[in-house]
């Protein structure tokens, strides 16, 4: 399986995403935002970072990059697409996911190890987790507050499209503690915390629970690889 990781001007975590893909047993493919060529990949990752210096709104300018028309077509045809942090912001700006991300309610950038509950373990990127499993992965952002209308929130909840919820602490004022969501089909997933930074023991979060595994983020990448192999 070949998984494309798109680099935008100001991307930061594209390299770690490619490393996570490799550790999960797939081939990472570096893609450039200014291209219209997805190079025949089987899945896509929009990585974290500070695309276009976070001007206007985080992810707003990157969502208009040339490659986003191909990303949109591929997503609508069912290709697995994962947006991590800045990538999640781009997916909402591109209307591939609902809602939006606003400035953290406390007004500051936050960087911490964050516990999440996997609420939906049937998406392309979470099928390897048991439903309800709690995982710890890093969180680092300035605009992580998830918002949507009450009607949209009710629909997301009713359709099981809240994929991750913050546990213990709501770090940014996200409505209903939502950390990540999916589209109707379950192939497009976006979340604020960073699974690609928790894929190797000794390099991820240093809380006691996370130290026991250190690889809570790897399941995102192995989930899509396993699904790809099953469907191949
Ligand atoms: N880690 C990230 O991707 C950060 C996203 C964005 N620049 C923010 O601060 O919200």
Cα 74 to Cα 65, 68, 176: the distances in Å are: 15, 10, 30
Distance 102 CA to ligand 1 centre (A): 11
> What residue's CA is closest to ligand 1, atom 3?
48
Give yes or no: 157 in active site.
no
Q: Is 196 among the residues known to form the active site?
A: yes
Q: Give the burial class of 135: count Cβ atoms within 10 A of its Cβ; 0-12 exposed, 13-18 middle, 19 or more buried.
A: buried
Write down the architecture of domain 2-231 according to CATH.
3-Layer(aba) Sandwich (3.40)
Q: Is the pLDDT of residue 56 over 60?
A: yes
> What sign results for the dihedral spanned by CA atoms 226, 202, 133, 110?
negative
219-231: b (≥16 Cβ within 10 Å) or e: bbbbbbbbbbeee
**Residue 205 pLDDT class (50, 70, 90 cuts):** low
* Spans of all domains in the chain: 2-231
Name the residue at shortest CA distance from atom 5 of ligand 1: 86
Q: Which residues contact 37 (CB under 8 A, 6 or more apart)?
A: 31, 70
Burial of 106 per CB tally in 10 Å (0-12, 13-18, 19+):
exposed
Reply yes or no on whether the pLDDT at 190 is more than 60. Answer: yes
- Residue nearest ligand 1's atom 7 by CA: 50
Pocket of ligand 1 (CB under 6 A): 48-50, 54, 58, 85-86, 140-144
As for the ipTM of the complex, it is 0.97
pLDDT per residue as tens digits for the range 82-133: 999 999 999 999 999 999 999 999 999 999 999 999 999 999 999 999 999 9
């Amino acid at each position: 399986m070949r998984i494309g990781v798109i680099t935008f001007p100001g991307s930061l975590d594209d390299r770690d995403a490619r490393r996570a893909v490799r550790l999960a047993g797939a081939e990472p493919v570096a893609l450039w935002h200014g291209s219209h060529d997805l190079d025949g990949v089987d899945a896509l990752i929009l990585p974290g970072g500070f695309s276009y210096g976070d001007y206007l709104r985080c992810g707003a300018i990157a969502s208009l990059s040339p490659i986003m028309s191909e990303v949109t077509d591929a997503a609508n045809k069912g290709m697995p697409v994962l947006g991590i942090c800045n990538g999640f912001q781009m997916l909402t700006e591109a209307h591939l996911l609902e809602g939006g991300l606003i400035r953290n309610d406390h007004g500051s950038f936050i960087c911490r190890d964050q516990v999440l509950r996997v609420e939906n373990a049937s998406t392309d990127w979470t099928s390897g987790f048991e439903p309800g499993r709690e995982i710890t992965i890093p969180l680092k952002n300035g605009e992580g507050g998830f918002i949507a209308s009450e009607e949209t929130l009710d629909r997301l909840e009713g359709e099981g499209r809240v994929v991750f919820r913050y546990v213990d602490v709501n770090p940014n004022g996200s409505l209903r503690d939502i950390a990540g969501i999916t589209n109707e089909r379950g192939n497009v997933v976006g979340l604020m915390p960073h699974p690609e930074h928790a894929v190797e023991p000794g390099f991820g979060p240093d809380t006691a629970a996370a130290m026991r595994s250190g690889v809570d983020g790897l399941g995102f990448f192995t989930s899509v690889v396993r699904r790809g192999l099953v469907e191949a």
